[in-house]
Amino acid sequence: MLNIRDLVVAYGGIEALKGISVDVPDGQIVTLIGANGAGKSTLLRTIMGLEKPKSGSMEYNGEKLNGFNSQHIVSRGITLVPEGRRVFPNLTVLENLRIGAYMRSDEDGIQADIRKIYDIFPRLEERNWQMAGTLSGGEQQMLALGRALMCRPKLIMMDEPSLGLAPLVIKEIFNIIRSINETGTTVLLVEQNANMALKVAHHAYVLETGRIKMEGSGKELLENEEIKEAYLGKKKK
């Protein structure tokens, strides 16, 4: 679905991505794990058209993505759940969802999708009229997910959905990610919480300072000794 080849992205003179290749097949959950500064968020921002790549190519179903602005990218069915949730704090939950459907104009479809999202996240319906800034962290993450789903994405990219959430809430969020994927949406997940991410992922990449260090299925990487030591916090015996 999404094929990235030799992508180089630089901030000024510093290369954040030093030529990486990632494939996201249709209908799967693909995850990128890596420490701070590995370039995970940069990759997502570049796919969204928020950063310009220096070289390399990005193709989405055979269509080039390089050089388009984010309006175009969203209209192709790619959406981003930004890092740190970034809900619109002084707008109500409902308004947040409606902005998610900004690119659409089918009022009936929008109403039906809002209904659907309230079915997935009943907590959001209870807080329909509340300002999004007054929600708890977990609820804000649900809202950020719901808002992204409002544009009916084919590929949903998530930047650290577990950031700053309690372990139980993280579990809930990951269950939802899995169920979103089961309804046919492809997921590209960026995480520092390697344990959770590798458990849900079909395929995973390990990113280190702008390069892909390792790749494999989620299960393979979970059992890899090196990964265990570096990211899962288990010492070799």
Partner 1 sequence: MNNKRNLILTLVAIVVLFGVACFIQAEVDSYIRRIVNLCLIYAIIGLSMNVTNGFAGQFSLGQAGFMAIGAYMVGIFTVPVELRADVFYAVPMNPYLVNIYMPLGVALVLGGVLAAIVAGLIGTPVLRLRGDYLAIATLGFSEIIRIVITNATSVTNGALGIKNIPPLNDVRYIFLATAISYILITLLLNSSYGRAFKAIREDEIAAEAMGVNLFYHKNLAFMVSAFFAGIGGGLYGALLGTVDPKNFLFTLTYNFLLIIVLGGMGSVTGSMFGAIIVTGGLEYLRIFDEPLELMGVAIPLFRPGLRMVVFSILLMVCVLFWRHGIMGTNELTWEKIIHFIKHPLDGFRKKGVQGK
Q: Considering the complex, what minimum distance in angstroms separates the CB of residue 202 from partner 1?
A: 24
Q: Considering the complex, what minimum distance in angstroms separates the CB of residue 203 from partner 1?
A: 24
CB 177 within 8 Å of CB 187: yes
Number of other CB atoms surrounding residue 156 within 10 Å? 23
CB 92 within 8 Å of CB 131: yes
- DSSP assignment string, 118-146: HHH-HHHHHTTTSBGGGS-HHHHHHHHHH
The correct pick among 30, 38, 58, 87 for binding partner 1 (CB under 8 A) is: 87
SS3 state of residue 193:
coil
Residue with tokens 């960026």: 190
- Is 88 a binding residue for partner 1 by CB under 8 A? The answer is yes
Site track 125-154 with partner 1 (rule: CB under 8 A), x = hit: ----x-----------------x---x---
The correct pick among 99, 120, 163, 169 for binding partner 1 (CB under 8 A) is: 99
- Is 79 a binding residue for partner 1 by CB under 8 A? The answer is yes
- Is 102 a binding residue for partner 1 by CB under 8 A? The answer is yes
Q: Considering the complex, what minimum distance in angstroms separates the CB of residue 187 from partner 1?
A: 16
Report how far residue 149's alpha carbon sits from residue 233's, in angstroms, rounded to the nearest whole number: 33
Q: Considering the complex, what minimum distance in angstroms separates the CB of residue 215 from partner 1?
A: 26
- Is 91 a binding residue for partner 1 by CB under 8 A? The answer is yes
The correct pick among 17, 48, 58, 189 for binding partner 1 (CB under 8 A) is: 48
- Is 70 a binding residue for partner 1 by CB under 8 A? The answer is yes
Report how far residue 144's alpha carbon sits from residue 154's, in angstroms, rounded to the nearest whole number: 16
Q: Output 163 or 214, the one with its CB closest to partner 1.
A: 163
Report how far residue 27's alpha carbon sits from residue 105's, in angstroms, rounded to the nearest whole number: 26
- Is 95 a binding residue for partner 1 by CB under 8 A? The answer is yes
- Is 163 a binding residue for partner 1 by CB under 8 A? The answer is no
Q: Output 48 or 194, the one with its CB closest to partner 1.
A: 48
Closest CA to 158 of 145, 171, 176: 145
Give per-residue burial for 93-108: e unless 16+ CB within 10 Å, then b.
bbebbbebbeeeeeee
Residues that bind partner 1 (CB under 8 A): 48, 50, 69-71, 73-75, 79-80, 82, 86-91, 95, 98-100, 102-103, 129, 147, 151
